[in-house]
Structure 1
Amino acid sequence: MVFKRLLGSLGVGGPTVDTVLDPGPVRPGGTLTGQVHLQGGNAGFDIEHITLELVARVEAEHAEGESEGVVAFERYTAGGSFRLAEGERRSVPFSVTLPWETPVTELYGQPLGVVLGVRTELAVAGARDKGDLDPLAVGPLPVQEAVLEAFGRLGFGFKSADLEYGRIGGTGQQLPFYQEIELTPAPQYAHQVNEIEVTFLAHPGGMEVVLEADKRGGFLSPGHDALARFTVGHGDARDWDAEVDGWIRRLVEHRASYGSHDAYGAYGHGDPYGGHGHGHGHGHYGQGEAHRSGPGVGTAVAAGAAGLAVGVVGGMVAAEVVDEIGDFFEGEEGEEDEG
C-alpha cells in the first residue's frame, strides 16, 4: 500500500511525496530499494534533503502492564540539494542496507503480526514534514528459516510474534528492541514447558539465537523461565533438527535460577519501575548466557489513554507523529495512492 500526503507544513500548493518500495520482502542486512516520487507544487521549492526512516511498532513492559509505541531504528539520506520547479515531477531512486537485526515480518509469505514501516521525511526551505509512510516486508535469513523449519518438524507450532522494547544482556544486540517469536510446545515437551520464545540477533558474521522456556511447575515447585544463547554461522550446514532438539533439551533440563535480583535477572537493578523482575533465569550453558532487560530509567513514558510510549530518549518517535503512525499500524489505509 502506498500513502501520499501533502506537506502540511507548507500548506496548500506545496509539493507532495510518494515513496514506492520495490516489490518483495527484503532480508535483514539486505538492500532495500525503491523510488521517491515528488510532485512540485504551485511554486518552486528548494529540496534540502530526503530522509528515509525505519519505524517499528514495539511493546514496552512496566509495572502497570504493557504499552505500545513506535520506535525509529534507522535513518538514511536518500537525496536532496536540488530545486523542484513548479509542477515538476521527479523520481529519486534509493538503495539502502537494512540493519542485520531488522525483525522478520513474514514467513513463506504469511505475516507474523510484526509491523514495520518506512517513513519519508522531506526538508523543504527550512520546513520538515513526515510526508509518506509505507509498510516494510522482511523475510527471514536462510539460517533463521532453517531454525524455524526445524522447530516445525519437531512439532512446535507458531503462536505469535512481537517486538519488545529493551535489551538482552550478554548478547551483541544493537537495536533498542528485540523480536520474540512465541511457539507452542511439541508434544514431547508439553509436560515441561508452556511455550518457547525464540529471538534472533543477526550480525555480519552469523547469528545469536536466544531461547526462553516458560517452564511448568511441579507439585512442590513453581514454574519459572529459563534462557540460553547459542551462536550459528550464516553458511552453517548442520542437522538442524538434531541441533534444535539439543538446544531445547538443554534448555528445559537446566535448573535455572529464577526470581533473583542480580544483574542477570529480568530488569535486574535496571528496573525503571521499582518492580521485582519477571523471574527470568540465566543461560549458563550453550554458547553463553543471556538475560532480558526492560528500558532504563526515563526511557518509557505513557501517552495518556492511548497507552503509547512516545517522545522519549532511545528512539521513541515524538508524540506529534503518533496519530499518523497509529492509523497505519492499526491497519487503516489512510490516504490511498490514486495513481
Structure 2
Amino acid sequence: MLNKFLASFGIGAAKVDARLADSKVHPGGELRGEVHVKGGNVEQTISQIYMYLYTEYYKETNDTKTKHKEVLASYRVADSLLIRPGEEKILPFQLRVPYHAPISFGRQNVYLSTGLDIEMAVDPKDTDVVTVLPDPLAAQLLAEMEGMGFRHSYDSGICEYKKHIHRMVPFVQEFELKPTSMFRNELDEIELIFDVYPEGIDVLMQVDRRPSSLRGIFEEMLDLDEQYVRFTIDRQRGVIPGELERRIRQALVRR
C-alpha cells in the first residue's frame, strides 16, 4: 500500500525513456526510435503513452516579452498498458516532423516530449532535444546571404509571435542578417522568413535601408525605410545563383 501511495507521487513509479535512432531531421522527415518503459516498485496501469514535438516562441505585450510553448505534432505510441514491477517494455515509434517546424538555430530549440498517462498519479516524462535541419532551399538562401558578407545577429533565428503571417502556427522564425562588406553602406539589415512546403518555399524578405540623409532618419523613425519583398522558389527549379542579390538591389531602388 505504501509503495502504491509513493508511486502516485512519482517515487518508485514507472519510468519512460525515448531513444531516437537519429535526433537530426529535416522538415517533412520522420523521427524514429523506441520508447522504453521500465516498471517501478508496484504494478501500474498506463492509460496511454504519448509524444509531442514542441518549440517555444516569444510574444511581446506592453514592452514585456513572454515565452510560450507551441505543439508542432503529436503521436500516440500505445493505449492501455499494464507494467509490472521491474518489467521493461520496448515500443517502436515514428513521428513526422511538419514543414512548419522551425530550424534549430542559435537559441531556438525543438523538443520531443514523451509521457506516460497514469490515472491518479504524476505522469512520468522524458524530454529530448531534436535538431531540425534547414530545408535544402532555405540552407541555400542562407549560404548565399553569408557569401555576400551578411552575418547573423544575436537574435537571428528566434521565433516571434506574428499573427496572420504563417498558416499553421502563431509565430514566425526571423533570420536577421547584417551586412559586413557588400551593402554595408546601404543597409542596416535583412530579415528573412521562410514558409516551407513540399513543392518549394515562400520567402518574405524585409530590406531595412541605412539612413543617408535627414529625410532618411525621419523615414527610419516611421519605419518607412523598410521594403518588403515576397517571392517563391519552386523545388524543381531551385535557387538561382545571385537571385537574392538581384532582389535586394531591386528593393533598394523602390520607394
Q: The TM-score by the shorter chain falls in which range?
A: 0.7 to 0.9
| Structure 1: 4+ residue segments shifted above 4 A | 7-10
Q: Distance in 1 between matches of 2:91 and 2:159?
A: 32
Number of aligned residues: 241
User: Which has the higher Rg, Structure 1 or Structure 2?
Assistant: 2
Q: Give the CA deviation at 1:29.
A: 0.9
Distance in 1, matches of 2:141 and 2:38, equals 45
Asked if the contact 1:105/1:139 (under 8 Å) is kept, the reply is: yes
Deviations 1:219-254 (CA, angstroms, capped at 9, x unpaired)? 2232132222211122323423x2111221233333
Q: Is the 8 A contact 1:45 1:125 kept in 2?
A: no
Question: Which residue identity is paired with 2:214?
Answer: F
Is 2:152 aligned against 1:151? no
SS at structure 2 position matched to 1:174: coil
Q: Which moved more, 1:139-148 or 1:56-65?
A: 56-65
Aligned-pair identity (%): 28
1:328 counterpart residue number: none
Whole-angstrom distance in 1 between the partners of 2:163 and 2:201: 16
Q: Does the CA-based 8 Å contact 1:103-1:179 persist in structure 2?
A: yes
> Out of 157, 161, 164, which is 1:165 matched to?
161
Shift of the alpha carbon at 1:146?
Answer: 1.1
Provide the aligned C-alpha RMSD in A: 2.2
- Which sections of structure 2, spanning at least 5 residues, go unmatched? 1-5
Provide the residue aligned with 1:220 in structure 2.
Answer: 215
Structure-to-structure mapping, 1:1-339, within 5 angstroms: 9-106=8-105, 112-125=106-119, 127=121, 129=123, 131-159=125-153, 160-169=156-165, 173-217=167-211, 218-221=213-216, 222-223=219-220, 224=223, 225-240=226-241, 242-255=242-255
SS in 2 for 1:51: strand
Structure 1 gap segments, 5+ residues each: 1-6, 107-111, 256-339
SS of 2:113 mapped into structure 1: strand
- CA distance 1:60–1:83, change in 2 (3 Å): same
Rounded to whole Å, the distance in 2 between the matches of 1:185 and 1:8 is 57
Output the TM-score relative to the length of structure 1.
0.65
Contact 2:10/2:124 (<8 A) preserved = no
- Partner Cα separation in structure 1 for residue 124 and residue 178 of structure 2: 40
Q: CA separation in 1, counterparts of 2:235 and 2:7?
A: 45
The structural deviation recorded for 1:10 is 4.3
Deviation at 1:144, TM superposition (A): 1.1
| TM-score after normalising by structure 2 | 0.85
